Amino acid sequence: MCKTDLCLIFRLLPILTTLWVPTNAESFLSNTLIRKNQVQSVLEHQPIDALECENTKPTGPIDTTMCDYETVESVNGELFTNIHELVKMPFFKYFQVDLYRDCPFWDDYGSCNNPGCAITTVDESEVPLKWRASALSKVDALVENRHELPGCYYRDSDFCWLDDNTEGDYYDLTLVPERFTGYSGPEAHRIWRTIYEENCFGLSEFSLMDGKAPAPVTLPDTMTDVLREDGADSDQCLEKRVYYKVISGLHASISTHICAEYLNQTTGEWGSNLQCFVNRIASHPERLQYIYFNTVLLLRAVARLGPYLSAYDYCSSGTHQDDSETKEKLLNVIHLAQQAGKFDEGALFRGENANVLKEEFKIHFRNVTRIMDCVGCDKCRLWGKIQTTGIATALKVLFELDEKTLDPHTNANLLQRAEVVALINTLHRFSESLEAVNEFRRIWADLSATESEQLIFDAEKAALPIPHSPSDILQPPPSLFTVAGSRVFSIVEVCRESVAKCVVKILSLCTRGLNIMSSILQPSGKESGPGAYEEL
């Protein structure tokens, strides 16, 4: 039996080591921020400029990817040019939605009083007659097997709730840019925390980076490295990893737009905020990877929808001029989507429990679309609804609809107008994010070495609330055992001085340990969200 205080301390060592919490533990990426040269790998990467990429090794910051990501880099300039013009066409710029439905999760969701949150509606008379609520409601009435709530519904194949067009206002999306609004703090944090809690699979960016590969499944090279980290086996299935990457990719894309069109509150001017981008994206290259991942997923959906979209009626006038112009730009987008949208949806939701897992996936993503009703910023809520609907539409196209169902001649009303508009505008958002990343790279290239070092140093300070010197920035964090050993040594010193102080110290640590264990045993591991980029 141990009789000395020192022996007692060492008996408690397994417990004390669990009390080690990094100083930036509120972020899911607490152990990943200071990996060496990660900011430089993002901002000094030169995008690929060739379509032929057979046997090309992955390059730059887009870790664990194959040819398709390089292909996205090579086509995104042309893709953005075409889709940027496409979303200005009448069919794609008018969006009707109810932004003032009650939040289903809590009552006090508040509101954003910043001018940047304000939004302007469009009078119904400006919207072509065939796209007004009265006309669209007649089409919605033909939809069978609907599960309804006041003002919205979903079908069994849907990954989101859709408005039934009985209420809501019209918006010209070209007049409502997605950019910095000032909506942040506890309210925005709660939104993202709730969204990440819908990831009931228990994955995080940290586990995706350091975790082992998903269940052994033979995949084409376009998907293999996207979904596996180190080639080993693991219990984490592909579907769970896809779910997390979809959510985190959306978050990262929104953050990129906020940084790309940031309001300098001192000068009142809008412009790119490189420090914002370094803090939120460049210091976490995996977030940029998820933007590419979502872009490929959306492109694959558009490619599969090619015949259906080509046959869709975009006309709003008697001359059909806008219809032909819209289709011309759309065909260019579809052609590029067929080149870069190499996502093998057949690799997912197969096997003994495929239907159960897919239904779980749909339920949780539907909840994500309903969380958008809780956003306190009107502009953020609008773009949140559009983009979650756009991604949900892509998921439905990939995982619910076969080639026969997608035939426009037999299923002309397969998608609601809102789904088509949301899908294309969401792809535009992601394509624009990648364009913004290139702009940030150009800004970075013009900086001096001292300026770039300061940006990285400031990013470290923002994530770690302890002082650092520049020489410490790229040093690895102390190991668990180093920290635990230091803690034990300090306790031994206290116990040598006073038994009373020793008891107080140990009781304090035990209390802290119980609090930590209590938080660990919460239903979800996503309470904090990816801390540093919480604004919606």
Residue 23 has pLDDT above 50, yes or no: no
Residue 532 has pLDDT above 60, yes or no: no
Give the least confident one: 25-34, 102-111, 331-340, 422-431: 25-34
Q: What is the pLDDT of residues 412-421, one digit of tens each?
A: 778 988 999 9
More confident: 254 or 216: 254
> What does the DSSP 8-state code read for residue 530?
B
Nearest to 71 by CA among 413, 339, 456, 448: 339
pLDDT score at 150: 80
- What whole-number distance in Å separates Cα of residue 54 and Cα of residue 76? 19
> What's the mean pLDDT in 205-217?
39
Beta carbons of 247 and 196 less than 8 angstroms apart: yes
pLDDT score at 142: 57
- What whole-number distance in Å separates Cα of residue 175 and Cα of residue 177? 6
- What whole-number distance in Å separates Cα of residue 161 and Cα of residue 163? 7
- What whole-number distance in Å separates Cα of residue 95 and Cα of residue 102? 20
pLDDT score at 248: 92
Query: What are phi and psi for residue 179, nearest 5 degrees?
Result: -160, -175
Nearest to 326 by CA among 247, 399, 421, 253: 421
Residue 283 has pLDDT above 70, yes or no: yes
Q: Of 117, 380, 495, 502, which is the active-site residue?
A: 380
Instruction: Give the percent of the chain with pLDDT over 90.
Output: 31
More confident: 527 or 239: 239
The structure tokens listed for 465 are 């609330």
For the ranges 40-49, 174-183, 207-216, the maximum mean pLDDT occurs at 174-183
The structure tokens listed for 405 are 């169902």
Q: Of 160, 259, 276, 377, which is the active-site residue?
A: 377
Q: What is the pLDDT of residues 345-373, one digit of tens each?
A: 888 888 777 888 888 889 989 999 999 99
Confidence class for position 35, pLDDT limits 50, 70, 90: low
Nearest to 96 by CA among 388, 419, 367: 419
Cα 364 versus chain centre, distance: 15
- What whole-number distance in Å separates Cα of residue 341 and Cα of residue 219? 16
Cα 426 versus chain centre, distance: 12
Q: What is the pLDDT of residues 61-95, one digit of tens each?
A: 434 334 467 778 889 999 999 999 999 998 999 99
Give the least confident one: 5-9, 26-30, 82-86, 122-126: 26-30
Q: What is the pLDDT of residues 189-205, one digit of tens each?
A: 889 888 887 655 544 44
- What whole-number distance in Å separates Cα of residue 234 and Cα of residue 342? 25
Beta carbons of 327 and 119 less than 8 angstroms apart: no
- What whole-number distance in Å separates Cα of residue 238 and Cα of residue 224? 10
Q: What is the pLDDT of residues 453-508, one digit of tens each?
A: 999 888 888 776 433 333 333 334 444 444 455 455 556 655 665 666 566 556 65
The structure tokens listed for 68 are 């398709």
Q: Would you call 380 a catalytic residue per the annotation?
A: yes
Beta carbons of 168 and 374 less than 8 angstroms apart: no
> What does the DSSP 8-state code read for residue 105?
S
> What's the mean pLDDT in 294-321?
84
Q: Is 323 helix (H, G, I), strand (E, B) or coil?
A: helix
Q: How many CB atoms lie within 10 A of CB 77?
A: 15
Confidence class for position 529, pLDDT limits 50, 70, 90: very low
pLDDT score at 256: 96
Q: Would you call 377 a catalytic residue per the annotation?
A: yes
Give the least confident one: 73-77, 243-247, 429-433, 474-478: 474-478
